[in-house]
Amino acid sequence: MNHSTETPSSTLHADRVHEDVERVVVPSAAIAARVRALAQSIGEDYAHADGRLTVVPVMTGSFLFAADLVRALPQRRMRIQLATVASYGGTATATQGSSIVGTLPKHLEDHHVLIIDDILDSGGTLRLLRAEFESRGARSVKACVLLRKRIPSALSTPVEYVGFDIDDEFVVGYGLDYDDLYRNLPYVGALRREAR
C-alpha cells in the first residue's frame, strides 16, 4: 500500500535560505506536518506490533527524519537499530550503487521491520535491505522515505510510506548532504550548481 504523498508548497515557510541553496524545495513547517501524518499512519499500521517492531534508520542521511518520526510514533516498545549503506560518496551527486557498510540488525525472526531512509532515487538501498531482512526471517518489511524522486527507478520501487515526491534535482538539508555539508539545514533545498 502506498500512502498518499504531499507536494510541498512554498507558501508554507519562512525559512531563511542558506547562501548555497538555490531555493527551498520542502520547507521546515511542511516537513513537521508530514512527519506527524506519517507517524499516525505508521502507528495505526503497527498497533499490533508492540515489542515486535524493529525500526532501521539508514545512516547517515535519515538521522534527523528518523529521530523526529520515531518520537512522533505512539509510545510502544520498539527496537531501533541502525544500518549504514553507501550509495553516494563525498562529492558524488548520482548514486554509485548500494553496498552495506558494517553490520545489520540480527535476530529479526517474528519481528516487523520498518526501514527509514532519506531519499528514494535508484531504489538500490531499499531493494538491498528488504532482501537482507527478509532472508533473516523478518515477519514483514516495509519502508518509509522522506523524499521520492519523480523518476522511473524511484516510482517503480515498492515503498509503503512517502513524505514528498520531488523533481529529479540534487537536494540537501534535513539530514541530506553534499560532501557531509548542509545536513543541519532545517529544510530541504536545491543546492546551487556553483556550490558543488
Question: Residue 101 maps to which CATH number?
Answer: 3.40.50.2020
Average pLDDT rounded to a whole number, residues 14-25: 86
What pLDDT is attached to residue 86?
Answer: 77
Confirm whether 113 is domain-assigned: yes
- The reply to whether omega before 5 is within 30° of 0 (cis) is no
Q: What is the mean pLDDT of the chain?
A: 89
What pLDDT is attached to residue 36?
Answer: 98
Confirm whether 134 is domain-assigned: yes
Report the catalytic residues.
121
Kindly state the percentage of the chain with pLDDT values over 90: 75
What pLDDT is attached to residue 98?
Answer: 65
Confirm whether 22 is domain-assigned: no
User: Is 191 within 8 Å of 182 (Cβ atoms)?
Assistant: yes
Number of domains in the chain: 1
Q: Which long-range contacts (C-beta less than 8 Å, at least 24 apart) are formed by 87-91? A: 87/122, 87/124, 87/125, 90/179, 90/180, 91/178, 91/179, 91/196
Give residue 47's domain range: 32-88+97-168
Confirm whether 192 is domain-assigned: no
Q: Is the pLDDT of residue 10 over 50?
A: no
Confirm whether 185 is domain-assigned: no
Closest-CA residue to 141 (of 54, 67, 59): 54
pTM listed for this prediction? 0.86
Q: Is the pLDDT of residue 7 over 60?
A: no
pLDDT digits (tens, 9 = 90+) for 37-59: 999 999 999 999 999 999 999 99
* pLDDT band of 155, cuts 50, 70, 90: very high
User: Is 162 within 8 Å of 5 (Cβ atoms)?
Assistant: yes
Confirm whether 124 is domain-assigned: yes
pLDDT digits (tens, 9 = 90+) for 58-103: 999 999 999 999 999 998 999 999 998 876 555 544 555 666 766 7
Q: Which phi and psi (to 5°) does residue 168 adopt?
A: -80, 85
